[in-house]
Amino acid sequence: MYNDISELSASQFMTLFGLSDENLANIRKLGRIIVPRLEDYANTFYEWVVCLPEYQIVFSRPEIMAHARAEQINYWRRCFDGVVDESYLQNRRVIGHTHSRIGLSLPSYLSAMNRSMTILTEQLYQGELPIEEFLTCKQALNKLVYMDITVVSDTYARAVNERIAQQSKALMEMSTPVTQIWQDILMLPMVGIIDSRRAQDVMMNVLNRIAETRAKVFIMDISGVAVVDSAVANHLIKITKSTGLMGCTSLVSGISPAIAQTMVNLGFDVKEIATSATLRDALEHAFRLIGRSIQ
């Protein structure tokens, strides 16, 4: 069993879907009948497409529709060529990326493929082959189309997941802006919820910034943190200990009465964390630590 189909070669895909040279020959045989009718196929297919709300959004201008129509005809022409090689696979992966980029959903793509097969093998086909021979050709085409759908869907999903990961990373970086507010002093305002993933990212960002700036004091303001529980308190302790190993003193500001009571009730030794009620108090403490004072 293949774990990562994105790495499969054309021959491996053919093996996976049971596509033989005989199957490809039967696809070409059916193609000699269907390809001359692809313009009729496109007319029928786009009469169906224009009635769908999602496609109306995607194909908002006539030139976009015309380009999509031409690409659709080329897609099926290449199918009926009956040649599965690396170039063929790359073409299908491009389709997956394109569908992801324009925001066409997988259900819409799958319904379009189903509609296309109905038009090609039922509405346009006029019984030129003996029934058994036609069914053999249709079965071979089904194998190829299933393979195409798998490649397109896998590429689509990977592109979407990659985009989500990039967006999550960007949001995480925006939510953990470690800023040098003075020589030797870094500050990070925390807002929202602190979970294990975010705490780990905060720790890495802070340690990297300490290494870059050689800061002596790091202030983490948690006045905007929604909830402080045992997990959050543990994360705060880990962050302060990690910065201490790099020769940087951590100060936690924004400790409200409710947060202070919560941490005491949870049994945490508050001596492990240098805290202050306000950011102003933390700044004054930070300046004293670096030998400066506020006039």
Which pLDDT score is estimated for 142? 96
Q: Is residue 271 part of a domain?
A: yes
From 140, 170, 200, give the residue that closes a domain. Answer: 170
Which pLDDT score is estimated for 172? 57
Number of domains present in the structure of the chain: 2
Which pLDDT score is estimated for 230? 74
Looking at the fold, whether 146 and 284 belong to one and the same domain comes out as no
Q: Is residue 208 part of a domain?
A: yes
Name the average pLDDT for the chain: 86
Residue range(s) defining the domain that contains residue 241: 179-289
- Using the Cα atoms of residue 26, residue 28, residue 34 and residue 38 in order, give the sign of their dihedral: positive
Looking at the fold, whether 187 and 151 belong to one and the same domain comes out as no
CA distance 202 to 186: 13
Percentage of residues in the chain having pLDDT higher than 70 = 93
Instruction: Provide the edge-to-edge strand list for the sheet that holds 274-275.
Output: 179-182, 185-192, 217-225, 249-253, 274-275
Checking if the pLDDT of 78 tops 90, the result is yes
- The CATH number of residue 229's host domain is 3.30.750.24
Checking if the pLDDT of 2 tops 70, the result is no
Looking at the fold, whether 97 and 239 belong to one and the same domain comes out as no
Looking at the fold, whether 185 and 223 belong to one and the same domain comes out as yes
Which residue intervals of the chain are DSSP H helices? 10-16, 21-34, 38-49, 53-58, 62-81, 86-102, 106-118, 131-175, 196-213, 230-245, 257-265, 279-289
Looking at the fold, whether 74 and 153 belong to one and the same domain comes out as yes
Q: 274: pLDDT confidence band, cut at 50, 70 and 90?
A: confident
Looking at the fold, whether 139 and 230 belong to one and the same domain comes out as no
The residue ranking higher by pLDDT, 103 or 85, is 85
Q: Is residue 294 part of a domain?
A: no
Checking if the pLDDT of 23 tops 80, the result is yes
Checking if the pLDDT of 237 tops 60, the result is yes
Q: What is the pLDDT of residues 112-169, one digit of tens each?
A: 999 999 999 999 999 999 999 999 999 999 999 999 999 999 999 998 888 877 766 6
* Region of poorest pLDDT, from 49-53, 114-118, 202-206: 49-53
Instruction: List Cα–Cα distances, 277 to 175, 191, 283, 284, in angstroms.
Output: 22, 16, 11, 12
CA distance 13 to 150: 10
* Region of poorest pLDDT, from 25-29, 166-170, 290-294: 166-170
From 148, 170, 192, give the residue that closes a domain. Answer: 170
Checking if the pLDDT of 92 tops 60, the result is yes
Q: 218: pLDDT confidence band, cut at 50, 70 and 90?
A: very high
For range 23-49, the mean pLDDT: 94
Rounded to whole angstroms, the maximal C-alpha distance in the chain is 98
Which pLDDT score is estimated for 3? 63
Looking at the fold, whether 231 and 124 belong to one and the same domain comes out as no
pTM listed for this prediction: 0.61
From 170, 192, 225, give the residue that closes a domain. Answer: 170
Residue 130's φ and ψ, nearest 5 degrees, are -55, 145
Nearest alpha-carbon partner for 46 in 33, 37, 55: 55
Checking if the pLDDT of 55 tops 80, the result is no
CA distance 124 to 126: 6
Looking at the fold, whether 160 and 207 belong to one and the same domain comes out as no
Question: Given its phi and psi angles, is residue 125 left (phi above 0), alpha (psi -120 to 50 degrees) or beta?
Answer: beta
Asked if residue 92 lies in contact with residue 155, where contact means CB atoms within 8 angstroms, the answer is: yes
- The CATH number of residue 63's host domain is 1.10.490.10
CA distance 181 to 188: 10
Looking at the fold, whether 157 and 258 belong to one and the same domain comes out as no
